[in-house]
Amino acid sequence: MRHAKVLGVLSFLFFTYHGGQADQPNLKRTTSREHQEIRLKFNLKPGDKYLFSSIVKQDITQEMMGQQIVTKQNMASDYIYDVQTVENGITTINVTFGAIKMDTDVASGMQQLHFDSENPEAGTGELKTLANLVGKSFLMRINEEGNVKEIEGLAEIIGSVDDQQAEILKQSFGDSTMIQNMNQITNIYPNKTVGKGDTWTKSFSGSVAGMLHSTATSEFTLSEINGDLAIVAVDGQLVFSKLENGGNPLLQGAELDLNGTQKGILELDIASGLPIKTALKQDISGNLEIQGMQIPMTIVSDITITGKKM
């Protein structure tokens, strides 16, 4: 039973994980490229409002006691960004949870979980607590490189929920996880002048929901300048391990060794830095060991994030 619970925790965790906190970018310039140069940075203006929509489709395959268990998950979520102020290169944004929809199918119907914020009462078990987020807002502060520096007010939203129900929110929408999720949308800029063919690298490292340690190194390449749009390719390496002194008792005594890749394309509005479309594919594989039992895992995720001005 403990094995199944651990797998469930990890499945939901990777379902909501997208990125991490980034270090300074390392810019490399090609010797042969077109002469046009642009400056890419997070440059949203006070008073503007944006809708970001995320769709994650994920297949998780686990092998346990000679059996292969496939979990298929789909999640759609909306966030409304209301830009408040820009001071000293820091943009303060009021972020509101919009619609949330989730569907999980374990082993072709052995277990199914559902939630749709348009009909929360029809949701499955603990997932109903996601309804506590819809319509709630918190503040987020981002620098010109798109690095989320601070989140304010989210802990109070989760803290207002019943303790038992709040646990799933803490795992999936706590401050550390939310910073990483938001960084996936915004932490992508070199904040330097670049031309076609130029690359920059960002290194990601941090905890995921107080349970796992993640390290990622991503190389971004400006592949095209198409009118008002910059087309950027991303090629990254991902490594996950158990967080030392992590807070979740289900992972005590467990060993985790997972790594993978993240590849995709970003479409950015050059003037504002608005990520109009992000399309990523993650391939992660490795092992989870619990009480001497080896559980091989593969996690394949297709992530699509779109942004538009409201």
pLDDT (tens digit, 9 = 90+) per residue, 283-308?
999 988 877 788 898 999 999 999 99
> Where is average pLDDT lowest: 57-66, 159-168, 184-193, 245-254?
245-254
Q: What is the pLDDT of residue 27?
A: 54
Q: What is the pLDDT of residue 57?
A: 95
Q: What is the mean pLDDT of residues 127-152?
A: 91
Q: What is the pLDDT of residue 295?
A: 86
Distances (CA, A) of 298 to 10, 67, 90, 138: 12, 14, 38, 34
State both tokens at 121: 């009462």
pLDDT of 266 higher than 80: yes
Distance between start and end Cα atoms, the chain:
47
> Where is average pLDDT lowest: 11-25, 81-95, 155-169, 262-276?
11-25
| Average pLDDT score over the chain | 83
DSSP state of 35: S
State both tokens at 117: 């914020």
The C-alpha atoms of residue 222 and residue 236 are separated, in whole angstroms, by: 15
Q: What is the pLDDT of residue 251?
A: 59
| CB proximity list for 174: less than 8 A, separation 6 or greater | 154, 155, 158, 209, 210
Q: What is the pLDDT of residue 52?
A: 92
- At 190-211, the pLDDT tens digits run 978 999 999 999 877 766 655 6
The C-alpha atoms of residue 288 and residue 137 are separated, in whole angstroms, by: 36
Q: What is the pLDDT of residue 40?
A: 94
Helices (H), 94-142: none
* Residue found by looking up tokens 């990601």 in the block: 204
- At 21-43, the pLDDT tens digits run 344 445 555 444 456 899 999 99
- Confidence band (pLDDT; 50, 70, 90) for 107? confident
Could you tell me which residue, 44 or 175, shows the higher pLDDT?
A: 44
Q: What is the pLDDT of residue 98?
A: 94
User: How many of the other CB atoms lie within 10 Å of CB of 92?
Assistant: 17
